[in-house]
Amino acid sequence: MPSALAIFAHPDDIEFVAAGTLLQLQARGWKIHYLNLCTGHGGSVQMDAPTTRATRLAEAQRAAEILGATFYPPISDDLELMYSVPLLKKVASVVRTARPDIVLTHSPSDYMEDHQNASRLAVTAAFAHGIPNFECDPPAEAYFHDVTVYHAMPHGLCDPLRKKIHAGLYVNTTDVHAQKREALAAHVSQKHWLDVSQGMDSYLVSMDEVSRRVGKLSGVFEYAEGWRRHLHLGLSSQAIDPLNEVLGDSAIINSDYEAWLDS
């Protein structure tokens, strides 16, 4: 059975930008896997750190259950997710355990370091999937089929220097948006935190609006998620595009983006 692994920074990141794509793959027989690298312990002004960790872990487990995804526990506290060998070994172990054909992760350039470091760790761990001499923690056997990494749209749909980002591929999430929203709603603790810290009004409404904006960028879909494909070198034998191939009419290539790459 083919599989996809989402590797993101914080509890609720997957639901904001990747859950719809996971659900579309699942509907086509794929197994889906769910990894938040951070505990989310910083995401509260009401609870202390231990309580926040426990609360957000339970919320993330519930969200993964709603999505029907295999859950993996976090490996770092917030703002402590560094691109380091010990953490890389842990992420590589999850990759080898899940054996994904597709890895979904953050944009390499995003508004905060946890997102950017999660992206780097995900890419290197995917790169190491077929390198037996790279020891992971806990130990897991290398595997050798092709892996394709896709990067999500950054927060705000722009990079940290305010440059607008367009996707290379848009995935239609309209028919799974309700389930994606239900999974995000499992992160109950985040409504107050996001209202206080980022002025996002309702986090559910914010996700609706972003999904609608990305859908508008696609020019076709009502709700969508956008992806940019990582260079295949070291990850797969050739420049394959499994999201586009598997999702069919539920995915559309941004021809302007691809034309720019080929120019």
Q: What pLDDT digit, counting tens, does each position of 186-245 carry?
A: 998 877 666 666 665 578 888 999 999 999 999 999 999 999 999 999 999 999 999 999
The helix (H) or strand (E) run that includes residue 152 is: strand 148-152
Q: In sequence order, what are the residues at sequence separation of 6 or more whose Cβ sits closer than 8 angstroms to the Cβ of residue 108?
A: 116, 119, 120, 123, 151
Q: What is the mean pLDDT of residues 46-51?
A: 94
Question: What local confidence, expressed as pLDDT, does residue 263 receive?
Answer: 46
In the chain, what percentage of residues exceed pLDDT 70? 94
Question: What local confidence, expressed as pLDDT, does residue 84 receive?
Answer: 98
The structural domains of the chain, with segments of one domain joined by +, span 3-262
In angstroms, the CA 16 to CA 153 distance is: 10
Question: What local confidence, expressed as pLDDT, does residue 160 receive?
Answer: 96
In eight-state DSSP terms, residue 248 is G
**Greatest CA span in the chain, whole angstroms?**
52
Cβ atoms within 10 Å of 172's Cβ, excluding its own: 23
Question: What local confidence, expressed as pLDDT, does residue 45 receive?
Answer: 78
- Residue 121 pLDDT greater than 60, yes or no: yes
- Residue 108 pLDDT greater than 70, yes or no: yes
Average pLDDT, the chain: 94
Measured CA to CA in angstroms, residue 257 lies from 163, 168, 229 at distances of 15, 6, 11
3, 98 in Cβ contact below 8 A? Answer: yes
Please state the length of the chain: 263
CATH architecture of 3-262: 3-Layer(aba) Sandwich (3.40)
Question: What local confidence, expressed as pLDDT, does residue 259 receive?
Answer: 56
Q: What is the mean pLDDT of residues 243-261?
A: 85
- Residue 261 pLDDT greater than 60, yes or no: no
In angstroms, the CA 136 to CA 86 distance is: 9
64-89 pLDDT, tens digit per residue, is 999 999 999 999 999 999 999 999 99
Helix pair 177-185, 49-67: axis angle to 10 deg:
160
Which residue did the predictor score with more confidence, 205 or 109?
Answer: 109
- Looking at the DSSP bridge assignments, the partners of residue 71 are 34
Question: What local confidence, expressed as pLDDT, does residue 256 receive?
Answer: 78
228, 150 in Cβ contact below 8 A? Answer: yes
